[in-house]
Amino acid sequence: MDLKRKQNLILNVFSLLLIAVAIILTMLEIYPGSVIMNVKPLIAFLILSLILLVSFRRFEDNNILLLYHPFSIVAFLVYGPTFALTSFVVPIAVFLFMTEGKLFENLARIAVHFIKFFLGGILYFKLLQGSSGLNGRPVDILSAVLAITSMRAIEEIGNLLLDLSRKGALKIHRIEFSRWLKRFPFITAWSLTTAYLVGEGNYYFAAIMSIPAIHIYLYLSQEDKLKRTLNNVFFSLTRMINMRDHYTYQHSLSVAVYAKKVALELGYSQNFAENIYQMGLLHDIGKVGVSDTILLKQDRLTDDEFASMKEHPSLGVKLVKLMKFLDLGIDGIKYHHEFFDGSGYPDGLKGDEIPLTARIITVCDAWNAMRTDRPYRKAMPYTKAAEQIRRGAGTQFDPEIVRAALRVFEQEEPGVILSKTQIFMLEK
């Protein structure tokens, strides 16, 4: 059984398990009365949910969706799990099915929310005897904090199970959970205060208080904007190469696209693929420190010239280290000329000693170099270049990465030379 079939099997098993648990909990814990007796609040929360969805579609800012979390906690603490599910999970379910993703996986992710709210309800309302709307009792506040933390942990575990077949999933979820913990004190204080005010019927005051709270919360959740800023920096640095050597510029863009596709083909997460894409853009950034007589030479390099060219990974690392926020890309920059058998440079690393990102970029780098016209030679035909990659498995390249890369190279998506239109779309 190949890797993708195994991943799909694992995903389907966990999806089925989560859906089954959600159905059982729904049958045992659903309480329609909390919805029927609170029609006006339900309409208000549904309108709020709709506003968040429309705002997200309008501004394409994932931070807007993060507001679901504190508002859903308020609905849960005041009106119970069935009400919270109806007012927030139903609109999210509609949104999921209108966008993308596999049907079975989407159902499983919705099931995670059912499990989260119903188990949270059992913990808060039954085991800890928490009251609706908190009522200002210290014991209710402590119980609510425990319930909120438990619900978030359940959600994270459920989504981890669905992502478990993807390499690097555990690390990604650990990072996401740690980010949530940093926002936890503010989320909790805001949610508990609003729940208390709504429970006491002070809707107007709760709404007024939410305005500055929303701004603070969005300020604490700026990862996407920072990511876009970083992407602009990466492309600016890549354009800097273009000012001196247009081939290297196009080559870097192609390697970045290939590396991202190979990472996804290997089963790694979307975040990992985006990171290696950024490394691919910058893997030859050190060439800005190589002399023009060498970098732009039309003939083959002499031994001395090649020795100077071999300095570009180290030069790239020195350049990137000046900008602390780019440390993520150093491995791909420094080690993309290391060979699997230890015969590469600059440090002669071997096998798994070579960082994974560098092993992926190495294959993509070699492939694009062979498939591109140079002043001193024509591009290799596809079959010959593919055979060269196969021969390099175990010596120059990691065999597992070679197998995945060849499946990607069959598509030849970036092409031999990127067109102006493709470059424009990549930069955009």
List Cβ<8 Å contacts ≥24 apart for 268-274: 268/166, 268/167, 268/168, 269/163, 269/166, 269/167, 269/168, 269/169, 269/172, 271/168, 271/172, 272/167, 272/168, 272/172
Q: Report pLDDT for 184.
A: 78
Sign of the CA dihedral running 358, 364, 369, 373:
negative
Q: Are 284 and 311 in contact (CB under 8 A)?
A: no
pLDDT digits (tens, 9 = 90+) for 14-58: 888 888 888 898 888 888 888 888 888 888 888 887 787 777 666
Per-residue pLDDT of the chain (428 residues; tens, 9 = 90+): 556 677 677 777 888 888 888 889 888 888 888 888 888 888 888 888 778 777 766 666 666 666 777 888 888 998 989 998 888 776 777 666 665 556 777 788 888 889 999 999 999 998 988 888 777 677 888 888 999 989 988 988 888 888 776 666 777 777 777 777 777 787 788 788 888 888 877 777 777 767 666 666 666 556 555 555 656 666 666 666 655 555 666 788 888 889 999 998 888 887 788 888 888 888 877 777 677 677 667 777 787 877 778 787 777 777 776 655 554 567 888 888 899 999 988 888 999 899 999 999 999 999 988 888 766 678 888 889 999 999 999 999 999 999 999 998 887 644 444 444 444 444 44
Written as one string, the DSSP assignment of 172-216 is HHHHHHHHHHHHHHHHHHHHHHHHHHHHTT-HHHHHHHHHHHHHH
Angle (nearest 5°) at CA 150 between 148 and 153: 110
Structure tokens at 84: 């919270």
Cβ-contact 67, 52 below 8 angstroms: yes
What is the spatial distance between Cα 72 and Cα 121, in angstroms, rounded to a whole number? 13
The interaxial angle of helices 169-199 and 203-219, nearest 10 deg, is 160
The 10 Å CB-count burial string (b at 16+, else e) for 276-290 is bbbbbbbbbbbbbeb
Sequence-distant (6+) residues with CB within 8 A of 241 are: 248, 249, 252, 284, 285, 287, 288
Q: What are the start and end residues of each CATH 1.10.3210.10 domain in the chain?
A: 226-427
> Which alpha helices (DSSP H) does 30-89 contain, by range?
33-36, 39-59, 62-65, 68-79, 81-84
CATH code that applies to domain 226-427: 1.10.3210.10
**Unique residue bearing structure tokens 């007024």:** 208
The upper half-sphere exposure of residue 415, i.e. CA atoms within 13 Å in the direction of its Cβ, equals 8
